[in-house]
Amino acid sequence: MNRVITYGTFDLLHYGHINLLRAAKQKGDYLIVGLSTDEFNLNQKGKKSYFPYEKRKQLLEAIRYVDLVIPEDNWAQKQTDVEKYTIDTFVIGDDWAGKFDFLATETGIEVIYLPRTPEVSTTQIKADLTNMSEDISKDF
Ligand code: C2G
């Protein structure tokens, strides 16, 4: 039973997130997602999520690849999560390449950076929606 963990905000859930979660699950049999809390997003990651934690958790729990969602409320919990949930593999997008190699050296787990889906991002979605609403308001 290979247990996999990944972390993220997963706000305005889109197919890039789904691609990552599918690929992460394919690395094992059980996938845990450490979901960034609203406070962690705001105070540590400098981003305000559109959907609050409980709604983002509800969305993730509906995804067939996800077996468990836990809160991510600090940067340092990864090492303890590895022990607590007997993790074998840590997976995250390659925008983080190299940043979590210490987990392999400190705990012996496998650390995998997966390619991001390049053309989609929550930031781009928000920008496009803003532009679309501006275009519509110009037409009236
Ligand atoms: N992702 C992806 N393709 C995209 C967008 C995101 O593969 N087009 C991946 C990211 O690489 C990440 C996961 O989806 O592995 C979640 O993305 P975010 O919610 O942006 O997560 P992030 O803010 O990077 O948080 O401690 C780790 C952090 O909590 C990671």
Give the pLDDT band (50/70/90) at residue 130: very high
Q: What is the predicted pLDDT for the residue at 25?
A: 98
* Interior angle at CA 5, CA 92 and CA 83, nearest 5: 130
Q: What is the predicted pLDDT for the residue at 23?
A: 98
Can you identify the CATH homologous superfamily of domain 3-138? HUPs (3.40.50.620)
State the distance from the centre of ligand 1 to the C-alpha of 119, rounded, in angstroms: 13
CA-nearest residue for atom 17, ligand 1, is 8
| Model confidence at 140: pLDDT above 90 | no
Bridge partners of 33, per DSSP, are 6, 69
Q: What is the predicted pLDDT for the residue at 97?
A: 98
| Full-model pTM | 0.96
Domains of the chain by residue range: 3-138
CA distances from 21 to 89, 97, 115, 123 (A): 13, 17, 12, 19
Q: Is the CB of 7 under 6 A from ligand 1?
A: yes
pLDDT digits (tens, 9 = 90+) for 81-106: 999 999 999 999 999 999 999 999 99
Burial class (CB in 10 A: 0-12, 13-18, 19+), 40: buried
List the catalytic residue out of 25, 27, 45, 48. Answer: 45
Rounded distance between C-alpha atoms, residue 112 and residue 94, angstroms? 8
Phi, psi of 49 (to 5 degrees): -75, 150
pLDDT digits (tens, 9 = 90+) for 25-76: 999 999 999 999 999 999 999 999 999 999 999 999 999 999 999 999 999 9
Q: Is the CB of 95 under 6 A from ligand 1?
A: yes
Is 7 within 8 Å of 72 (Cβ atoms)? yes
| Model confidence at 4: pLDDT above 90 | yes
Q: Is the CB of 20 under 6 A from ligand 1?
A: yes
